[in-house]
Structure 1
């Protein structure tokens, strides 16, 4: 098995070829990289060591045992392999004609399977705890990066429309520091983290712990890693083919949380909805009046 257009073996094949000559600890790391490639692409040596119950030094040694100059070079190879394996166009072509299933059928089939898997993973007690966290929060800070940032904005918008205090952040770098500045002990952070281990997540968790804010994690695979640092977790299985959106499961879970939360305080939700409708009506009326005033007047003959 080689990379298309190259002579270097793909990472999975390279790992399998070198396993016999590795120490037990290195084999654990190598097998983790082979089986959980998506989770390790952006991970530090410390994070991979934590996931495999080994050490930073073992992770670096494993990379070198596989023929890489270091962890960074190995991550680049890992990223390239994951991109190839999850490319939806390639997967459509690879499976085209096997069962006569159309593209639209595959997309809807995968969506249905992912949502069914999400439903099976919902723990009613944990779900109720997540709703409690939303209900008790002074303010909700929803955080996500990339596509998850869109979902964070969606949650904050829906909460605001229900009469709850909420805001969203999808910031990196110094802007993230500004967004975290107002976090308080009676607030809740909702973290949308599909599977990537990102430095920003560590910063958010560290600051939430420092100020005493509670955390709800919605993730496809990082529940175990962050279990001791969050107050509740919900599993949102990820697509294995990229036929469907990365955020599909998490979005449906968010809708379920919002609906359950709205039922806790129907009066507040109704009042907020009525206020929103009234404001929209006023804006439409003013826009119509403004449009009339801008129309050119006909000259008298």
Structure 2
């Protein structure tokens, strides 16, 4: 496999196909210091180029990247890894670094709100509402989102479990699925074989599947897809918006509140 095509080459090859706003973004990307690009959010880049964050993300994809984080990762050779570059900035200027992190988070949340498909959310809630049990799945750091959703659903009175298993250990989770289940998968951008097997198993047993993702819509069959935008500046935790999705799903499936009342009473007794 050859070396990845440099950013400037991608811009040259794509230039004739870019719109004027996209050209403004592309020109800024290749003429600015790499570190300045890496530490900027999509909103930052939009303001600096007289466009907007959506144009910035679209330009990155027109240049052949999966999104802005992938473009920034390609600049790592010139700047050092984004995380290392940022740690160095933290050591030098904590107030500035704090601002970058907060703006990155706000940018992600803003993009999440704009991209939320209410129709898909309603479909996801119908799937969860019709199920007697919910199986939540995510691997790596995304397992946190799966376990968070399962915990919140259980507290809301809906039976739920979570897993981050892979390989042969995942077989037990797959075997347990039934038509009474709804499946919620947190998979932002990497298609593991386990996900394909899980989707096939859910379809086989008649369990509805909700996919929370940034890049995998259309890659696997899902009954509802909820968008999970990545970190524009690669500075905030990957599960940030996935946790918001979990909160929305829980709020939409709240029952009569008896479980919350029980938890409140038990917490009072434990004090």
The answer to whether TM tops 0.5 is yes
Task: Tell me whether 1:110 sits opposite 2:108 in the alignment.
Answer: no
Q: Which residue of 2 aligns with 1:35?
A: 65
**Structure 1: distance between partners of 2:193 and 2:63:** 19
Aligned to 1:11, the other structure's residue is in SS state coil
C-alpha contact 2:188 2:213 (8 A) present in aligned 1: yes
Q: Which residue of 1 aligns with 2:20?
A: none
Aligned to 2:231, the other structure's residue is in SS state coil
Aligned to 1:237, the other structure's residue is in SS state coil
**Structure 2: distance between partners of 1:202 and 1:15:** 36
Q: Which residue of 2 aligns with 1:26?
A: none
Task: Tell me whether 1:137 sits opposite 2:167 in the alignment.
Answer: no
- Which of 166, 170, 173 is the matching residue for 2:160? 166
- Which of 206, 217, 222 is the matching residue for 1:230? 222
Q: Return closer, same or farther for 1:38/1:104 CA change in 2, 3 Å cut-off.
A: closer
C-alpha contact 1:162 1:273 (8 A) present in aligned 2: yes
Task: Tell me whether 1:11 sits opposite 2:21 in the alignment.
Answer: no
- Which of 179, 182, 189 is the matching residue for 2:173? 179
Q: Return closer, same or farther for 1:213/1:187 CA change in 2, 3 Å cut-off.
A: same
**Structure 2: distance between partners of 1:128 and 1:137:** 14
Number of equivalenced pairs: 218
**Structure 2: distance between partners of 1:142 and 1:166:** 7
Q: Which digits, 9 at most, give the CA deviation of each residue in 1:82-127, with x for residues without a partner?
A: 8767632325658999xx9701111111111111111111111111
Q: Name stretches of at least 5 consecutive residues in structure 1 with no aligned partner.
A: 1-8, 21-30, 41-77, 286-301
Output the TM-score relative to the length of structure 2: 0.70
Q: Return closer, same or farther for 1:144/1:33 CA change in 2, 3 Å cut-off.
A: farther
Output the TM-score relative to the length of structure 1: 0.63
**Structure 2: distance between partners of 1:82 and 1:170:** 31
Provide runs of 4+ in structure 1 moved above 6 Å: 37-40, 94-97
Q: Which residue of 2 aligns with 1:87?
A: 82
**Structure 2: distance between partners of 1:174 and 1:280:** 38
**How far apart are 1:35 and its partner, in Å?**
1.5
**Structure 2: distance between partners of 1:90 and 1:183:** 44
Task: Tell me whether 1:254 sits opposite 2:258 in the alignment.
Answer: no
Aligned to 1:255, the other structure's residue is in SS state helix
**Structure 1: distance between partners of 2:69 and 2:172:** 28
Q: Return closer, same or farther for 1:108/1:180 CA change in 2, 3 Å cut-off.
A: same
Q: Name stretches of at least 5 consecutive residues in structure 2 with no aligned partner.
A: 14-60
C-alpha contact 2:184 2:210 (8 A) present in aligned 1: yes
**Structure 2: distance between partners of 1:195 and 1:152:** 16
C-alpha contact 2:135 2:160 (8 A) present in aligned 1: yes
**Structure 2: distance between partners of 1:212 and 1:115:** 33
Q: Return closer, same or farther for 1:181/1:83 CA change in 2, 3 Å cut-off.
A: farther
**How far apart are 1:181 and its partner, in Å?**
1.3
